[in-house]
Structure 1
Amino acid sequence: MANGITASDPVVQRFDRVDALRGLALVWMAAFHFCFDLANFRLTESDFYRDPFWTWQRTFILSTFLLCAGAGQAIATHRGQSWARFWRRWAQIVGCALLVSLSSWWMFPRSYISFGVLHGMAVMLVVARLSAPLGRWLLPLGLLAMLLPRWLQDPLFDTRLTNWVGLVTHKPITEDFVPVLPWLGVMWWGLAVTQWLLHHRPQWLGGASSQVSAGNSGDNHGLAWRALVLLGQWSLSFYMVHQPVFIGALMAWQQWLGPRPLSP
């Protein structure tokens, strides 16, 4: 998922709790995807498309990432990040989204990802950046964005060229679908809440890892925290690498040790 984008000034401290929350979501996402891969290779039996145990996990993981992305934009605009820096990061996200589409088409030609989390992130980050001056108005706008797909659907939005808006009459057949509506509402909430925290409670957002570092370097809790912070700072790289590693490992396992098909 997209990292929070910091200002170019290297002396500005990162807000470590935002990074750690993103890192925790990455760990959860990786576990979720590994379980999905096991089911896809028919090594376990799980229904990731209809079982609420899995579908709700996906919702919570995605919501956490989008909240963090909104927080990242609040921090970036608060620090005066230039549009040039924003567009460089945005171009990386778009490039990774295209790679996801190509790789998913190779694995799932009938249900490839045409508008997944990175595609949605690319569109929503631009909207979030432009709408950041709205401040607290983003809270009701976010609620409206979440509710609008329940109130308004039209067959016009059921094609691959238009379903990215989110006003579909039925979910498309695809391995990942993150339309602008309702998910922009979650990013707007992360943006608005973090703007408030930056002005009123900035200490709630950061400083934890530096405090831990001053303590016992052998403390397991401290090491885990710093690992989450570091992971959150490299979220896009981790997102792009983890699935090829999982899938490659499972393919190698089946190739050399032989598959264990499910009993009928």
Structure 2
Amino acid sequence: MVIQQQNTPHLKLKERIFEVDLLRGSAIVLMVIFHFCYNLAVFDWWDINTNTQLEWRIFRRIIVSGFLLAVGMSSYLVYSQQIRWLKLTKSTLKLIVVAWLITVGSVFMYPNAWVYFGIIHFIAIALPIAALFSRFPNTALIIGITCLITYQLGWISMRPLWEWSVHHLHIPTKTIDLVSFVPWIASVLIGIYLMHKSLFNLKIKNNKLTNSLARLGQHSLAIYILHQPIMYGIMFAIAKI
């Protein structure tokens, strides 16, 4: 996401924020690794279960947290001074189109576990919310923390909506990618506050590794769209040989 230069009392903005690109790039590399391992299990080349085994569940949560924190931080940089509705609309529509393509593609790749609300679907909804809250970072933090606490206490859950959708919309009970609105919206809202307070300004040194990861972060959406069909296609071809 390109960050337009604007004035803010909290930090001096550049055309791009290196640390945010680095975070996004690191997350996309970890996601490629995760999906590679998942595909090995799909083709029975590795006996693992990424849905039930604790280490894989933690690994996935780290990846999703990285992406969603970056969404919140980028939203603050772009929209905290003024919500540019045309830009926001274009970005959201692009995500909706990508989400639809992912759903259609997953139906062919995983007919019994296709994606109906994965991370891109989630971001398509979370981005406008983040844009609105970017001007109220303290409120975003309070709501984010409240969301986490109430979810952990079992006071709020998306499971009733999921069960209704399974029964009435006939979506599969298993899916390869599901990002529940609660509690994951908390990561986006907390990301807004982190950038507002410059708490992610780590001053990471540029080197070959960090520069490469940051460049990947600048193209994370394209990589996300392409990496799994390519890997799955190659493995499928190998399995047929």
Q: TM-score higher than 0.5 here?
A: yes
Q: 1:15 to 1:135 in 2, by over 3 A?
A: same
The one-letter code sitting in structure 1 at the alignment partner of 2:163 is D
Give yes or no for contact 2:22–2:217 (8 Å, CA) kept in 1.
Answer: yes
Alignment check: 8 A CA contact 1:5 1:73 kept: no
Q: Give the number of aligned pairs.
A: 229
> Aligned in 2, Cα 1:24/1:162: closer, same or farther, shift over 3 Å?
farther
- Residue 3 of structure 2: aligned partner: 6
Q: Which residue of 2 aligns with 1:187?
A: 188
Query: Is the Cα contact below 8 Å between 1:93 and 1:118 reproduced in 2?
Result: yes
Q: Which runs of 5+ in 1 are unaligned?
A: 164-170, 213-221, 257-264
Aligned equivalents of 2:165, 2:116: Cα separation in 1: 7
Q: How far did residue 189 of structure 1 move?
A: 0.2
> Residues 89, 205 of structure 1: CA spacing in aligned structure 2 closer, same or farther, 3 A cutoff?
farther
Q: Residue type matched to 1:155 in 2?
A: P
Partner of 1:155: 160
Find the counterpart in structure 2 of residue 259 from structure 1: none
Name the CA distance, whole Å, in 1 between partners of 2:83 and 2:233.
38
Quote how far apart the aligned CAs of 1:92 are: 1.3
Q: TM-score, normalised by structure 2?
A: 0.86
How far apart, CA to CA, are the structure 1 residues paired with 2:33 and 2:92?
27
For 2:37, the equivalent position in structure 1 comes to 35
Which residue does 1:52 correspond to in 2?
54
Q: Say yes or no: does 1:120 pair with 2:105.
A: no
Using structure 1 for the length normalisation, give the TM-score: 0.79
Distance 1:156 1:64 in 2: 26
CA shift, 1:139, in A, is 1.3
Query: What are the ranges of 5 or more consecutive residues in structure 2 without an aligned counterpart?
Result: 7-12
Which whole-Å deviations, capped at 9, do the CAs of 1:125-145 have from their partners, x for residues lacking one? 111111222221211210122
Q: CA deviation at 1:176?
A: 1.3
Q: Distance in 2 between matches of 1:13 and 1:38?
A: 40
Report the CA distance shift for 1:190/1:141 in structure 2 as closer, same or farther (over 3 A). same
* Further displaced range: 101-110 or 66-75: 101-110
Query: In the aligned structure 2, how far is the partner of 1:22 from the partner of 1:81?
Result: 23
Asked if 1 retains the 8 angstrom alpha-carbon contact of 2:80 and 2:134, the reply is no
